[in-house]
Amino acid sequence: MAKNFSFGGSPYQSSNRRIAQMLLQQEKAAPPVQSNMQGLASMFRQGLAGYLQYQDSQDQQAAQSALMKGMSAKPWVNPDTGKTSTAPAGGLEGALTALGGVDNGYGRNLAQQLQIMKLGQDRQDQAGATKRAQELADQKTAFANKKALLPRKYVKAIDGKMYDAATGKRVVPGAQTRQEQFIKSISPPSSNLGGGAGSDLLNSSISGASGADILSGGEPTQKPNPTVREIFNALPIEAQNGIKMSSDPMKAMSTYLLRKKGLDIQFNSDGTVSSISQGGVAGNKWSKKSTSTLENKLINAREGLARLGSIDQSFRPEFQQWGARLSASWSALKERSGITLSAKDKAQLADYSAYKIKAIGNINNYIREITGAQMSEAEAVRLRKGVPDPGDSWYNGDSPTQFESKMKSQIRQLKEANARYVYALKNGWDTSPKNLAKVLPLDKVGDLIDERGTALERQLRARRPDLPQGEVEKIVSQQLSAEFGLNGR
């Protein structure tokens, strides 16, 4: 009897083989021959079963022969012209072409499975090409960013005027960008810009160089208006970092003070402070307008964590293995046909279905959050490779190890993203999510939290040397949780 024929996936049986097996089972179960008619019927069953088995074996051999011949085929060369044919030769393409000439179930089954393999291979090739294109674009962007940080070079043209060597635009001699003007205003001949005079990061009090609290309504300083450098140095270091990276640092510092302290500070054209007044209402309006994008990103990160937490609770390794998935599909098929499932099969089908809909929903939400409503199929395939994929059918998707590894990685990234957005919002960073990702990459968030925790512990020990280690760690942990939105790392 011929063996089960399979090329990956579940074994295939032709109709001839199934009928032959049925006839042999009938022959085995038949009572002993007691008449000529019974003898003829037995001979007919055995003969027909043998013929069908032979025909099934011939069909299998034909499919196998076409597969091997197509896979190893060489390109045809025209003897008259010497040119090589462009028709498919060898590999999957050659095998598919050869199997197209096999008119039996085994040939069609092999062709169908090869088509699935080819589709997966094409997707991998397309994803690889997309990845290479993205890497090239990232390299160009990195080069452009690096080039933008280089000192500007000016050339004098034949008209006697100065032009930017990189852009070709006319420039005024001695002109400075807003960033250059700001850096000059906060950089005295000898100054330490590492956190500011009197800046206490634990209680967020901000003091001027003279020691009085110039930004929180304390006693007036000796100077009617503090200098830009004094104000900047009094800010927490995290606020200083956000201001420096802004395209207009003066405006960024003003909006930060307006939002955090309710102080409306106006600057003169030369960068000096012209006036300081209360302006808390305007600050609140500005806050709602300027932080909406980052707040949306924060909401997406928290919703993503909730989704993955639910998937993690319902995940079982067998849900990403063919046996359990085929069993669930078979149970669903039986139930649709009216067969009552056992309590065990029904529970397994319900658990698997709930798990899969959560995992597929996570993929859809992730892609929508990254790209929006509009996206190409290639982009969706590329993004799908970065998240735990339960698969659309029983034969695709991640293996159990791949799924669990991706899930843990995405949970870690979302926690880091959540901390980054909370940190930026609490410190008034006036920037877009794209720029924020450049200034504070996800893989640096953990380092930032550790550095901040070390600084907090050092400050707390300086103020309260009598506190035991356990109490210090508890206070630092609570402060980090408040600043970065942590619920355990």
What is the per-residue pLDDT across 180-226, written as a single tens digit (0 to 9) for each? 777 777 776 543 434 433 333 333 333 333 333 333 333 433 445 66
Q: How far apart are CA 155 and CA 406, in angstroms?
A: 53
Packing angle between helix 91-99 and helix 105-149, nearest 10 degrees? 150
What per-residue confidence (pLDDT) applies to 205? Answer: 35
* Position with higher pLDDT, 270 vs 169: 169
**C-alpha triplet 467, 470, 473: angle, nearest 5°:** 90
What per-residue confidence (pLDDT) applies to 198? Answer: 33
pLDDT at 353 over 90: yes
Q: What percent of the chain has pLDDT over 70?
A: 69
Taking a C-beta distance cutoff of 8 angstroms, is the pair 55, 48 a contact? no
pLDDT at 232 over 90: no
What per-residue confidence (pLDDT) applies to 431? Answer: 62
Question: pLDDT tens digits for 25-73?
Answer: 888 888 887 887 877 878 888 888 888 888 888 888 888 888 788 777 7
User: Average per-residue pLDDT in the chain?
Assistant: 74
Question: pLDDT tens digits for 92-112?
Answer: 777 777 777 888 888 788 878
Q: How far apart are CA 130 and CA 136, in angstroms?
A: 10
How much is the pTM? 0.46
* Position with higher pLDDT, 317 vs 253: 317
Model confidence at 348, in pLDDT bands (50, 70, 90)? very high
What per-residue confidence (pLDDT) applies to 181? Answer: 74
The DSSP line for 93-132 is: HHHHHHHTT--SHHHHHHHHHHHHHHHHHHHHHHHHHHHH
Give the domain ranges of the chain: 15-76+86-117, 179-290, 302-424, 441-489
What per-residue confidence (pLDDT) applies to 197? Answer: 33
Backbone phi and psi for residue 275, each to the nearest 5 degrees, phi listed first: -160, 155
Taking a C-beta distance cutoff of 8 angstroms, is the pair 76, 85 a contact? yes
Q: How distant, in Å, are the alpha carbons of 398, 436, 442 from that of 136?
A: 28, 21, 21
Q: How far apart are CA 289 and CA 293, in angstroms?
A: 9
Q: How far apart are CA 232 and CA 250, in angstroms?
A: 10
Q: Give the range among 202-216, 247-261, 287-301 with minimum mean pLDDT.
A: 202-216
Q: How far apart are CA 134 and CA 177, in angstroms?
A: 31
What per-residue confidence (pLDDT) applies to 350? Answer: 94
Other beta carbons within 10 angstroms of residue 90's beta carbon come to: 14
* Position with higher pLDDT, 152 vs 335: 335
Q: In angstroms, how far apart are the furthest CA atoms of the chain?
A: 127
What per-residue confidence (pLDDT) applies to 222? Answer: 41
Model confidence at 249, in pLDDT bands (50, 70, 90)? confident
Model confidence at 321, in pLDDT bands (50, 70, 90)? very high
Q: How distant, in Å, are the alpha carbons of 96, 133, 259, 331 from that of 92?
A: 6, 26, 63, 34
Q: How far apart are CA 176 and CA 97, in angstroms?
A: 68
Q: How distant, in Å, are the alpha carbons of 4, 6, 96 from that of 108?
A: 15, 12, 10
What per-residue confidence (pLDDT) applies to 286? Answer: 39
Q: How far apart are CA 472 and CA 360, in angstroms?
A: 44
Q: How far apart are CA 178 and CA 172, in angstroms?
A: 14
Q: Choose among 451, 450, 476: nearest CA to 463.
A: 476
Question: pLDDT tens digits for 165-178?
Answer: 666 677 666 666 67
Q: How far apart are CA 99 and CA 108, in angstroms?
A: 7
The arithmetic mean of pLDDT across residues 9-26, rounded, is: 78
State in Å, rounded, how far the first CA of the chain is from the last one.
Answer: 61
Other beta carbons within 10 angstroms of residue 231's beta carbon come to: 24
The arithmetic mean of pLDDT across residues 427-456, rounded, is: 79
pLDDT at 481 over 70: yes
Q: Specify the amino acid at residue 254.
A: S
What per-residue confidence (pLDDT) applies to 175? Answer: 61
Q: What percent of the chain has pLDDT over 90?
A: 11
154-156 and 162-164 strand pairing: antiparallel
pLDDT at 144 over 70: no
Q: What is the dihedral of CA 431, 432, 433, 434, to 10 degrees?
A: -110
* Position with higher pLDDT, 8 vs 126: 126
